[in-house]
A and B are shown apart, each in its own frame.
Chain A
Amino acid sequence: MPISFEPTENTRLAREHFRKIAQEQMRPVSRKYDEQEHDLPREWVDWYWKNGRGAAPRVDGPADGMVQVCVQAEELCWGDAGLYLRTPSAALGGAAVAAAGTPEQKERFLASFRSDGHPVWGAMAITEPSAGSDAAAIQTTATADGDEYVLNGTKIFCTAGEGASQVEGGFVVVWATLDKSAGRAGIKSFVVPAGTPGMKLVGCEKKLGIRASDTATLVFEDCRVPKENLLGSAEVKKRDAGAKGGKSSTKGFKGAMATFDATRPIVAAMAVGVGQAALDYVVEALAAEGVTVRYDAPPEQLTAVERDLMRMEAELQAARLLTWRAAAMMNRGQANNLEASMAKAKAGLAVTEITQKAVELLGPPGYSCRHLVEKWMRDAKINDIYEGTQQINQLIVARRILDYPSSMLR
């Protein structure tokens, strides 16, 4: 296959399909659930559960695989990133089960997401009050007791955590340590089904943006799950715990971290969607005032606004292409740890800047809540923070290009 920037017919169809959904189902309630922060966005959730889960129309022929998945995320976040995160789906929790689960676990935990019953959610809970970027420092414990593990600790900032913990059929994948003295090697992930006694929803955060998304605090008090709910191996290899990242002793933790290689391109694509929404809006609004970019004018003659627009277009496309590259590598079965972090770092920052610039270029209408641009600026910023902050992704890129283990660059 040669270098090609042409999506397959199937990706084109998918883009059209999800753009229509974004336009018709998300945009009309976008502002409403930005304002009604902790309300369930019924319109979207019900519509999606009933009509949205089906695949996009497709034709016989090649597919773009992960690239198409990115295109879907981009289009839906062009619609509304907050609602996208509130979509009833297994989401990050599902990604963890899919990556590390046995066939039996996949069936047990994911079947409800395909059922005709009520909407369900999945979530992933890593972050704690005292451990964010440094995921290996989590304090939540898992203790074996007979046929069960007993979980104790507090998780914060859990996306979709309200739905996943409260609505039957959903689940939260919880990171906890089986043995604190083993460092990273002791950290495992456990599937906690919604409604499990001992898992308590404390509440949801009030946020700068993506307000339609339920960002939950969950407390685990003697929360018991069957041993079959552990994802991956239960074995804790203590040998050189915490001394050197990179040996087999840390495989479990590393394996869990490796799911980020698959999810970071999607988060990058989500970012690109928000950026595209803002850019489309600005380009259209300025064109209505007679302001368009002259690509054939010498740079010295371009206005400041034209220069800004050119920069925004280039930066957004740069982010999108890095994203697609990381995704295309997955299609080829190539390791993409470096490229996934490059895409996430670039997209998070580029889109933060693009949306902030969009508000600036539009002036008072940009700042006004009568239009969605100010919301997109608030929504965009999260992409620079979750799924590894800008700095954490820079760190990963740096380690890769320098060929340094984490012990040499922290």
Chain B
Amino acid sequence: MIDFEPSEEQQLIVETVRQFAANEIRPVARDCEESGKLPDGVLAHAHELGLVSNALPEAQGGGGERSAVTAALVAEELAWGDLAIALAVLSPGLVALPLADFGSDAQRAEHLPRYLGESYVPGSLALVEPRFGSDPFRPAATARRDGDGFVLDGRKCLVPWQDGDDVVLVVAAEEDGGAAGFLVPRGQEGLGATPERNMGIRALPTVELGLDGVRVPASARVALDVAALVTRGRVALAAMGVGVARAAFETARDYAKEREAFGAPIATKQAIAFKLADMAIEIDAARLLAWEAAWRLDRGEDALREATLAYDQVRRVALQAADGAVQVLGGHGYIRDYLPEMHLRNARGFAAFEALALT
């Protein structure tokens, strides 16, 4: 039956995450962005909430409650708080979820418990490449068979790179044209990590990764389905884009009711009010597209088309909402004391992101 109401359990989760985002993420978001540092205490608390571990397999101590719809609900709320911090909170999933889906028993046994322990352990996935036309389905990075192992070459970027873990999951093309994942120790010879500075998500440390003849044993290979990985990434990012857009919209709406010009709140002018109305409509519509794609994933269906359409739509909607918010605040929107300029920089990032979070 067609219905758009989250289950009671999901509503409870949403409420918890919403409180967390409002009370813990928002207050530190601007400082983190300016200092380029993540808030360790907030990440530790997020870990206690089990937002990632709930979805991991029970066999390794996870909650066994994988749901892309629930993940989308959570991702939106976190990103509403702050995109960079949200990506950090969900980063353990960047390694843990692909291993849960595609890893061997041995790989799961070796790696998953790390993300399910007492303390927060970040994850690191290298998919995007620093070139025009970066194509997650056909990476330019290569994995060549060599004896009973592989040699990796190529370059990656936008790779989350927080302290606290010692592997990175690298996606590279194999000789048969397909792509696979490779678990690479961060200290491996031939692996060079250069810290990045991007326009937005500055609180999240990311690196450009050079792979120069990096050797890994055969046991490091993860038989990834890249299409599935990208699909799950697009659903997660679409939900996060909705969160960013909603944050921008709410900031603009509240400001417009306060700010007066020509003797009345600017929200009483149609030029402002209609812009806000359009934002609200587009955000709700985009959210439903993201949910539909997530719902398909939960049914075990291929959802590449729906996820791609949703993500494509969200890229536009988030950017327009953020840009609209800057405009509604006028000159104040351009100033870093207010959030919209940050929303604008973060929203544009979805044009470059791919699998920076997973469901």
Chain A interface residues (CB < 8 Å from chain B):
1-8, 11, 62, 64, 67, 295-301, 310-311, 313-315, 317-319, 321-322, 324-325, 327-328, 332, 339, 342, 345-346, 391, 394-395, 397-398, 401-402, 404, 408-409
Q: A339 to chain B: closest CB distance in Å?
A: 8
Q: A5-B2, A64-B1 are in contact. List 10 more A-B contacts (CB 8 A).
A: A2-B6, A8-B1, A311-B313, A313-B309, A314-B310, A325-B4, A328-B2, A328-B4, A391-B274, A404-B267
Interface residue? B102 (CB, 8 A)? no
B289, A317: Cβ atoms closer than 8 Å: yes
Q: A346 to chain B: closest CB distance in Å?
A: 5
Hey, which chain A residues are within 8 Å of B308, CB to CB? 295-296, 310
Hey, which chain A residues are within 8 Å of B304, CB to CB? 295-296
Q: A3 to chain B: closest CB distance in Å?
A: 6
How far apart sit A6 and B10, CA to CA, in the bound complex (Å)? Answer: 19
A402, B292: Cβ atoms closer than 8 Å: no
Q: Of A5, A313, A339, A401, which contacts B292 at CB under 8 A? A: A5
Hey, which chain B residues are within 8 Å of A295, CB to CB? 304-305, 308-309
Q: A139 to chain B: closest CB distance in Å?
A: 26
Q: What are 17 inter-chain pairs, A to B, with CB distance below 8 A?
A: A1-B5, A1-B7, A2-B3, A3-B291, A5-B2, A5-B291, A295-B305, A296-B230, A314-B310, A318-B313, A321-B288, A324-B2, A328-B2, A346-B281, A398-B276, A401-B277, A408-B268
Hey, which chain A residues are within 8 Å of B274, CB to CB? 391, 394-395, 398
How far apart sit A298 and B138, CA to CA, in the bound complex (Å)? Answer: 10
Hey, which chain A residues are within 8 Å of B267, CB to CB? 398, 402, 404, 409
Chain B interface residues (CB < 8 Å from chain A):
1-7, 10, 69, 132-137, 227, 230, 253, 256-257, 267-268, 270, 273-274, 276-278, 280-282, 284-286, 288-289, 291-292, 295-296, 304-305, 308-310, 312-313, 351
Contact of A318 with B5 at beta-carbon distance under 8 Å, contacts A342-B281, A404-B268 already known: no
Q: B351 to chain A: closest CB distance in Å?
A: 8
B3, A1: Cβ atoms closer than 8 Å: yes
Contact of A409 with B270 at beta-carbon distance under 8 Å, contacts A296-B137, A300-B132 already known: yes
Q: Of A300, A311, A346, which contacts B312 at CB under 8 A? A: A311
A346, B133: Cβ atoms closer than 8 Å: no
By CB atoms of chain B within 10 A, which of A64, A311, A391, A409 has the most? A409
Majority DSSP secondary structure for residues of B touching A: helix
How far apart sit A324 and B291, CA to CA, in the bound complex (Å)? Answer: 14
B230 nearest in chain A by CB position = A296
How far apart sit A398 and B249, CA to CA, in the bound complex (Å)? Answer: 12
How far apart sit A62 and B309, CA to CA, in the bound complex (Å)? Answer: 30
Hey, which chain B residues are within 8 Å of A325, CB to CB? 4, 284, 288
Tally of A-B Cβ pairs under 8 angstroms = 147
By CB atoms of chain A within 10 A, which of B6, B281, B305 has the most? B281
Majority DSSP secondary structure for residues of A touching B: helix
B280, A64: Cβ atoms closer than 8 Å: no
How far apart sit A310 and B304, CA to CA, in the bound complex (Å)? Answer: 13
By CB atoms of chain B within 10 A, which of A1, A391, A398, A401 has the most? A398
Q: Of B1, B230, B296, which contacts A1 at CB under 8 A? A: B1
Hey, which chain A residues are within 8 Å of B136, CB to CB? 298
Q: A7 to chain B: closest CB distance in Å?
A: 6
A409, B268: Cβ atoms closer than 8 Å: yes
Contact of A3 with B3 at beta-carbon distance under 8 Å, contacts A325-B288, A402-B257 already known: yes
B278, A394: Cβ atoms closer than 8 Å: yes
How far apart sit A401 and B312, CA to CA, in the bound complex (Å)? Answer: 26
B132 nearest in chain A by CB position = A300
How far apart sit A3 and B11, CA to CA, in the bound complex (Å)? Answer: 11
A344 nearest in chain B by CB position = B281
Q: Of B69, B135, B268, B276, which contacts A3 at CB under 8 A? A: B69
B69, A298: Cβ atoms closer than 8 Å: no
A4, B3: Cβ atoms closer than 8 Å: yes
A328, B3: Cβ atoms closer than 8 Å: yes
By CB atoms of chain B within 10 A, which of A6, A295, A310, A313 has the most? A295
A338 nearest in chain B by CB position = B280
How far apart sit A123 and B41, CA to CA, in the bound complex (Å)? Answer: 64
A298, B2: Cβ atoms closer than 8 Å: no
B292 nearest in chain A by CB position = A5
A293 nearest in chain B by CB position = B305
A318, B291: Cβ atoms closer than 8 Å: no
Hey, which chain A residues are within 8 Å of B286, CB to CB? 318
Q: B67 to chain A: closest CB distance in Å?
A: 9
How far apart sit A75 and B47, CA to CA, in the bound complex (Å)? Answer: 48
B277, A397: Cβ atoms closer than 8 Å: yes
A318, B289: Cβ atoms closer than 8 Å: yes
Q: Of A2, A64, A322, A391, which contacts B281 at CB under 8 A? A: A322
Q: A77 to chain B: closest CB distance in Å?
A: 19
A398, B3: Cβ atoms closer than 8 Å: no
